[in-house]
Amino acid sequence: MKIHNISAENSIINTFIAEMRDVNIQQDSMRFRRNIERIGEILSYEMSKTLNYTTQEITTPLGTSQMNLINNNIVLCSILRAGVPLHNGLLNYFDKAENAFISAYRHHKHKPESFEIIVEYLACPSLEGKTLILADPMLATGQSMIATYEALKPFGTPKEVHLVSLIGAPEGVDLVNQHFDTNAHLWIATIDEKLDDNSYIVPGLGDAGDLAFGQKLQQ
């Protein structure tokens, strides 16, 4: 897998990540969602440099122009619920993409540190021969990303796969790197220090879904 860690070089993305981490600023849910969306836009721009292009002739009021335009058939798939603003950021740039949505969450059986990934809802077009962009804001253990990809397999074999995350832990990055093909890409805003005993990213930012949409009752 090709790993693109955008924070390896300084850019404006650092500002958005800092605001999402800040315990004072992150209480503004609207700003938190917007920062996720803006990071999604930046990752989309970086990803666009690696896609396929064909030359097309565009008619202007004064003549014609030869333009190189993306010709990938893109499907955006986001993991609910924190993935919604990230999905919107990606869709702002890949506005002709088809869309898929899936729910995948941690189900804690007995102990906080022990869980399984449950997939309950899935809506997806055909993936056969297309470019799949799989978006999950927090890449902690990597299990959600892998479970989602496995659940998508009945919908066809994509030509290429791009994973998109805001913040990851080395453990999660390593796991998806082992699981996905060497031609797959991971686009990530930053990689943090580690996972804690409950498999949460440190220093991280907390629960992205709760910060974006409000706290949920635990099942």
Whether the predicted pLDDT of 143 surpasses 80:
yes
Prediction pTM value: 0.91
Average pLDDT over residues 110-114: 53
Query: For position 137, what pLDDT does the model report?
Result: 95
Specify the fold of 2-213: Rossmann fold (3.40.50)
Separation CA 104–CA 120 (nearest Å): 7
105 falls in which pLDDT band (50, 70, 90)?
A: low
Over residues 163-180, mean pLDDT? 97
Q: Cα separation of 69 and 6, whole Å? A: 24
pLDDT digits (tens, 9 = 90+) for 50-70: 999 999 999 999 999 999 999
Which two three-digit tokens encode residue 19? 């605001």
Pairing of strands 138-139, 185-191: unpaired
Strands of 53-159 (E only): list them. Answer: 53-60, 63-70, 74-80, 98-108, 115-123, 131-135, 138-139
- Looking at residue 134, its pLDDT comes to 97
Under 8 Å between Cβ of 131 and 73? yes
Residue pointed to by tokens 């997806």? 124
- Across the range 85-108, mean pLDDT stands at 88
**Cα 126 to the chain's mean position, in Å?**
19
pLDDT tops 60 at residue 106: no
pLDDT of 172 > 70? The answer is yes
Contact present, 162 and 130 (Cβ < 8 Å): no
Q: What is the pLDDT of residues 10-41, one digit of tens each?
A: 999 999 999 999 999 999 999 999 999 999 99
Using CA atoms, how far apart are residues 155 and 186, in angstroms rounded to an integer? 21
Predicted confidence at residue 117, as pLDDT, reads: 59
What's the average model confidence in pLDDT over 90-114?
Answer: 78
Residue in the structure block whose two tokens are 């220090």: 193
Q: Taking the domains of the chain in order of start, what are their residue ranges? A: 2-213
